[in-house]
């Protein structure tokens, strides 16, 4: 498998992204929060649109191999 997934830190404003994701879950119950996560994943997967990239990402997460490096 060719590695096309960006595995280096690629987020310029880490704190803002973290706060935005935390804010998504504000005032949601557990089920609503889980649904929000699922919808966000599907929206981002659609944006990526490349099944090979998505497969690589799923494999990294499934194998607990995701690491960020600069």
- Summarised one tens digit per residue, pLDDT across range 5-62 is 888 888 899 899 999 999 999 999 999 999 999 999 999 999 999 999 999 999 988 8
Q: pTM to 2 decimals? A: 0.79
User: If we measure between CA atoms, which residue out of 29, 34, 56, 33 comes closest to residue 45?
Assistant: 56
Does the pLDDT at position 68 exceed 70? Answer: no
The pair of structure tokens assigned to 26 is 């504000």
pLDDT of residue 33: 97
pLDDT of residue 8: 85
């Amino acid at each position: 498998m060719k590695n096309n997934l960006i595995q280096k830190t690629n987020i310029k404003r880490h704190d803002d992204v973290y706060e935005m994701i935390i804010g998504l879950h504000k005032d949601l119950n557990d089920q609503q929060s889980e649904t929000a996560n699922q919808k966000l994943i599907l929206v981002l997967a659609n944006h990526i649109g490349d099944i090979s990239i998505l497969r690589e990402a799923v494999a990294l997460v499934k194998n607990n191999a995701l690491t960020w490096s600069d």
